[in-house]
Chain A
């Protein structure tokens, strides 16, 4: 099975900061990676698919990059609504795997 290592597990940042979250796959997954945002008590929301494609309606301050085994999610200027937990997902194989999550907290 493909393992996903996401870092950091927690991130403290201020409004306006540039934020980067990383996911590393245990083997190449091409560009089959998605990023989700989840707020407490709510379902996850898709942000990015195929590593760098922005889901419709998602603000352009969110961007994704990478291929193979190394991927990043960047928030160019953190907004109050962005404090949440973020997960990566590999869907290269029929057994999908999420990263452990990154909680973005207010500094």
Chain B
């Protein structure tokens, strides 16, 4: 059974940083592309970032490019999202998701339960 467990969220001041983690189990982690998706309170879903199974390819939404960094440690079956220069607009639940792919075309198939990031002074 695929399991994804996010951690690292919390209250952070504007301009601060956080590192989110997603511990994966139940599948061969290094073979799977992964995503981060966020949802601001009461709002819709927003894709944030994606990374290939080997970590060599990364992709970002324009809204976070230059501030967020996605990475992975395949030896520890863990996905990361480093988020810097946080602003109020980054307040959201952050979900990690395992991709399902047809060739190189991937979508979020299995989701974790999310971790809440609150940016406030």
Contacts and interface: CB of A to CB of B under 8 A. Distances in A.
B111 A98 contact: no
Interface string A73-102: 000000000000001010110111111110
Q: How large is the interface on B (under 10, 10 to 19, 20 to 34, 35 or more residues)?
A: 20 to 34
Contacts of A55: 109
A98 B105 contact: no
Question: Chain A: interface secondary structure?
Answer: loop
A91 B106 contact: yes
B24 to A, nearest CB: 14
B50 A96 contact: yes
B39 to A, nearest CB: 9
B45 A87 contact: yes
B52 to A, nearest CB: 11
Interface residues of A, number: 25
Given A43-B114, A49-B100, A94-B59, A100 B44 contact: yes
A94 B59 CA distance: 7
Interface of B: 35, 37, 44-47, 50, 59, 61-62, 95, 100, 102, 105-114
The 4 closest A-B pairs by CB, nearest first: A43-B111, A96-B47, A98-B45, A91-B107
Interface of A: 1, 32, 34, 36, 38, 42-46, 49-50, 55, 87, 89, 91-92, 94-101
Given A46-B107, A98-B47, A100-B44, 15 more contacts: A1-B62, A36-B45, A43-B113, A44-B45, A44-B108, A45-B111, A50-B102, A87-B44, A89-B107, A92-B105, A94-B50, A95-B62, A97-B47, A101-B44, A101-B45
